[in-house]
Amino acid sequence: MYLLHKPSNNLVEILTPQELWNPFLKKVDGRFHAGEELQDPEPFTKSHLIFPSGESLPLCWLDPEYRLHLTENSKVATSA
């Protein structure tokens, strides 16, 4: 799986996708996919990664308490 590293605008090959969708982990192992030589693996902060289309990662991949945000947003929407 490839994601875009926002600070550098380079593609990152995600080496351990199961780390990506674990919301308790803030970093994921990957390597830049640039140049002709295979780059060394390094940890990437998930908040610095987006899909190549420009779409953000799902909140459930980033925040272990994402369901609390969903209920807060629905309360605000129903009270307005």
Residue 80: what pLDDT? 53
Place of tokens 């550098």: 8
Distance CA(60)–CA(63), nearest Å, equals: 6
Residue 25: what pLDDT? 95
For the chain, domain boundaries = 2-79
Residue 41: what pLDDT? 95
Residue 4: what pLDDT? 97
Measuring CA to CA, which residue among 13, 26, 16, 9 is closest to residue 61? 26
Q: Provide the residue-wise pLDDT of the chain in tens; the chain has 80 residues.
A: 999 999 999 999 999 999 999 999 999 999 998 878 889 999 999 999 999 999 999 999 998 887 777 666 655 555 55
Distance CA(75)–CA(58), nearest Å, equals: 21
